[in-house]
């Protein structure tokens, strides 16, 4: 009988920041919908902030946006990733991680199609 198996429907939210941050790895607990919504709002706000900034303001605005995103990430990850850990990553890795996480909420990948034979 085919059916839905929540245990295999989506992949775990495993991450590692090694070798950039030795020992920083784990699994992000599944967040509730309100946390996903809040995270999405912060990400949209950070993008909007950076889009309005001119070159003279970019450094301070980028720092503020990075901190805002880092706090939201730490919250949605239930502390599995701290604000300081996220900020310590190189910029391209911060962007890649945040994009990956957003993608997991928008279009989760699965180890299978979530059904059982």
Q: Is residue 114 part of a domain?
A: no
pTM of this prediction exceeds 0.95: no
What per-residue confidence (pLDDT) applies to 67? 87
- 44: which 2 tokens? 């949209």
What per-residue confidence (pLDDT) applies to 114? 42
Averages of pLDDT over each 10 residues, the chain, 117 residues: 79 94 94 88 79 64 82 89 92 89 79 45
Q: For the chain, what is the domain count? A: 1
Q: Is residue 92 part of a domain?
A: yes
Q: Is residue 4 part of a domain?
A: no
Handedness of CA 65, 68, 71, 74 (dihedral sign): negative
Domain that holds residue 69: 32-108
Q: Whose structure tokens read 């990400």?
A: 43
Q: Residue 85 and residue 94: Cα distance in Å, rounded?
A: 10
Q: Is residue 8 part of a domain?
A: no
Q: Is residue 16 part of a domain?
A: no
Q: Is residue 5 part of a domain?
A: no
For every residue of 39-84, DSSP letters joined together read HHHHHHHHHHHHHH--TTTHHHHHHHHHHHHHHHHHHHTTTSS-HH
* 40, 97, 28, 66: CA torsion to nearest 10: -60
What per-residue confidence (pLDDT) applies to 97? 92
Q: Is residue 7 part of a domain?
A: no
Q: Is residue 49 part of a domain?
A: yes
């Amino acid at each position: 009988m085919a059916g839905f198996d929540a245990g295999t429907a989506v992949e775990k939210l495993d991450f590692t920041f090694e070798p950039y941050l030795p020992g920083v790895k784990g699994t992000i607990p599944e967040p509730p919908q309100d946390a996903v919504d809040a995270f999405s709002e912060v990400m949209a706000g950070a993008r909007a902030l950076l889009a309005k900034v001119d070159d003279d303001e970019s450094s301070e605005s980028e720092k503020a946006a990075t901190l805002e995103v880092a706090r939201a990430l730490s919250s949605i990850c239930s502390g599995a990733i701290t604000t300081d850990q996220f900020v310590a990553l190189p910029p391209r890795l911060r962007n890649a991680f945040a994009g990956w996480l957003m993608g997991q909420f928008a279009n989760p990948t699965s180890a299978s199609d979530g059904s059982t034979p």
